[in-house]
Amino acid sequence: MPRPGFVLEVDRSTPPILFHHGESLRLEKLPAGRTRVLYPGEPLEPLDDPDGAIRQALENPLGGGPPLRALLRPGMRLTVCFDDISLPLPPMRRPDIRQRVIEAVLDLAAEAGVDDVHLIAALALHRRMTEAELRHAVGDRVYDAFAPHGLLYNHDAEDPAGLAFLGTTPQGEEVEINKRAAESDLVVYVNINLVAMDGGHKSTATGLASYRSLRHHHNVTTMQHSRSFMDRHHSELHSSNWRMGKVLRDAGVKIFQIETTLNNDTFGTGGPMAVLQKREWEWTARDRASFLAMKAGLDRLPMKARRRIFQAWRAPYGVTSVQAGEVEAVHDATVESVFRQQLVAIEGQTDILTMGLPYICPYNVGSVMNPILVMCLGLGYFFNMYRGRPLVREGGVVIMSHPTTWEFHPVHHPSYIDFFEQVLADTTDPLEIETRYEKQYAEDEWYRHLYRTSYAYHGVHPFYMWYWGCHGLEHAGKVIVVGGETRSVRRLGFTPASTLADALEMAEDVVGRHATITHLHNPPLVMADVK
């Protein structure tokens, strides 16, 4: 029986706590008597028979609709869309759950005699997936059957001929999505819900959308009113997507949603990484030895080698649920399943929130975690891992641990480089950035060309990363980065500190002495239910 997550009150006998630090690890002694550590739950028991669960879900859809089998007929146009490389994190071991689901869907389609089938990686403004990444997601069998005929491809949000405008919401938000999906008789969306933010109408309304459509919810105002975007009912990001979902439905786009959830088994129960998901006081002599060896090795290796080691990791996630059918009914069940794994109740907010940022976020799979992504991961994702109220009080201090090197992947993140050099050198205020610079980057022909033909994120993507963290930026009184490269931390508008002790001392200037501290022991993923 897996143990649920819990809150540890740090005392004198608490051992140093593990902090992820990019492609490295740190052990930090936290002050006794005023510190809490929020631990994730142990991985839930995975489904014994995921393939059986998929079949079951397809035959017994939620929301009262007919089973998938009944929606398939000869002569129809079927489009299967699936989440891109940003999910799950780290990528899961083969077979990826998308492969299992897509094979089950296609098997039914084959049985029904459906000929016209397209598969689309719903990547919105993310970079295109490479052949190897597509093979990993959908499996070799599906890739070899469809890709050579041009029937398996990446969504292109900048292809005027490949987009269809479907209308506007009552709030004036334009809805424009992939034309093939819009004109299909049935869209089957295959989703992985790693966190509560994923899935629902966001899958189609964001994953298959164009910039024209995305800008209505990927903006500063929406993100500042999403508290948090992990909690759909208090997220303006989701409200906007739900409104767009209604436009899609009214326009006749028929969506059969399939959502899956994974457990917390990020680093496995055996092997060298297993120690990273154990509670520190339960480390055996072997765990300690493997941690010391791993840390010593990592600290001596060049960054490139360290990155290669971490990026090669494939998580042994287990599938905890599969649900299919009507979008909203499916998503409600999915979120419940995500919360069952990740949600941990905690009493009250804290003055100082600490977090160790790992080597990966949704936008640097097989790539470099540049300083903008560090900000997005810390103040965007980790800060927003709450329900109710933020874990840190308004005006409190956020301390993040990450090397934050001034380094960018030139192929994946070309517009990030210019954003960092040009925009952040001028201002870090999200609203000003949005007003003065967004349009220029979003409509830049060179970035557009790289997005469409190379493997680059869209020109506007770094702006979205900045907006992603704007709620945290607005909420926190000070942001300190421990162990970060001074000049890049300063460029982000944050304060650099050499050690955690220094950072805590600096924080006193903002929150006073004897401030309370809460550490988010993440990953594996944990979400705070703040009472």
3-state secondary structure 315-355: ECCCEEEEEEECHHHHHHHHHHHHHHHHEEEECCCEEEEEE
Task: Determine, following the binding rule CB under 8 A, whether residue 111 of this chain makes contact with another protein.
Answer: yes
Which of 92-100, 127-135, 183-191, 451-459 is the region at the interface with another protein (rule: CB under 8 A)? 92-100
Contacts made by residues 420-429, CB under 8 angstroms, sequence distance 24+: 420/370, 420/371, 420/372, 420/462, 420/488, 420/491, 423/462, 424/372, 424/491, 424/492, 424/493, 425/491, 428/473, 428/492, 428/493
Per DSSP, the chain holds a count of helices (H) and strands (E) of: 22, 20
Task: Determine, following the binding rule CB under 8 A, whether residue 110 of this chain makes contact with another protein.
Answer: yes
Facing residues of 190 across strands? 82, 258
Task: Determine, following the binding rule CB under 8 A, whether residue 426 of this chain makes contact with another protein.
Answer: no
Nearer to another protein, 115 or 426 (CB): 115
Nearer to another protein, 118 or 331 (CB): 118
- Contacting residue, 68, 117, 123, 470, with another protein by CB under 8 A: 117
Task: Determine, following the binding rule CB under 8 A, whether residue 116 of this chain makes contact with another protein.
Answer: no
- Tell me how far, at minimum, the Cβ of 16 lies from another protein, in Å: 36
Task: Determine, following the binding rule CB under 8 A, whether residue 9 of this chain makes contact with another protein.
Answer: no
Residue 90 CB contacts under 8 Å (≥ 6 apart), including other chains: 266, 311, 313, 314, 315, 360, 365
Nearer to another protein, 95 or 477 (CB): 95
Please tell me the count of residues contacting another protein according to CB under 8 A: 23
Structure tokens of 508? Answer: 């006193």
Collapsed DSSP state (helix, strand, coil) of residue 44: coil
- Tell me how far, at minimum, the Cβ of 78 lies from another protein, in Å: 12
Nearer to another protein, 94 or 308 (CB): 94
Residue 453: count other Cβ atoms within 10 Å of its Cβ. Answer: 10
Tell me which amino acid residue 439 is. K
Structure tokens of 509? Answer: 């200037």
Distance of CA 80 to the CA centre of its chain: 21
Q: CA-based angle 434:437:440, to the nearest 5?
A: 125
Q: CA-based angle 152:412:483, to the nearest 5?
A: 135
- Tell me how far, at minimum, the Cβ of 314 lies from another protein, in Å: 13
- CB neighbour burial string for 223-234, b if at least 16 within 10 angstroms, e if fewer: bbebbbbbbbee
User: Interaction with another protein in 13-52: which residues (CB under 8 A)?
Assistant: 48-51
Task: Determine, following the binding rule CB under 8 A, whether residue 99 of this chain makes contact with another protein.
Answer: yes
Nearer to another protein, 99 or 261 (CB): 99
Collapsed DSSP state (helix, strand, coil) of residue 258: strand
- Tell me how far, at minimum, the Cβ of 141 lies from another protein, in Å: 4
Which of 107-115, 272-280, 328-336, 463-471 is the region at the interface with another protein (rule: CB under 8 A)? 107-115
Matching residue, tokens 């765990």? 287
Which of 95-103, 255-263, 346-354, 436-444 is the region at the interface with another protein (rule: CB under 8 A)? 95-103
Structure tokens of 245? Answer: 């979902």
Task: Determine, following the binding rule CB under 8 A, whether residue 505 of this chain makes contact with another protein.
Answer: no
Nearer to another protein, 140 or 443 (CB): 140
Alpha helices (H) along 122-224? 131-138, 140-146, 179-182, 201-207, 211-214, 220-224
- Contacting residue, 29, 69, 94, 308, with another protein by CB under 8 A: 94
- Tell me how far, at minimum, the Cβ of 110 lies from another protein, in Å: 4
Q: CA-based angle 199:169:438, to the nearest 5?
A: 75
CB 245 within 8 A of CB 327: yes
Nearer to another protein, 8 or 114 (CB): 114
Task: Determine, following the binding rule CB under 8 A, whether residue 71 of this chain makes contact with another protein.
Answer: no
User: Interaction with another protein in 327-386: which residues (CB under 8 A)?
Assistant: none
- Contacting residue, 45, 107, 421, 509, with another protein by CB under 8 A: 107
User: Interaction with another protein in 130-159: which residues (CB under 8 A)?
Assistant: 139-142, 144-146, 148
Nearer to another protein, 172 or 270 (CB): 270
Task: Determine, following the binding rule CB under 8 A, whether residue 67 of this chain makes contact with another protein.
Answer: no
Nearer to another protein, 93 or 212 (CB): 93
**Are β-strands 6-9 and 35-39 bridged in parallel, bridged antiparallel, or unpaired?**
antiparallel
Nearer to another protein, 94 or 449 (CB): 94
Task: Determine, following the binding rule CB under 8 A, whether residue 81 of this chain makes contact with another protein.
Answer: no
Residues that bind another protein (CB under 8 A): 48-51, 94-95, 99, 103, 106-107, 110-111, 113, 115, 117, 139-142, 144-146, 148
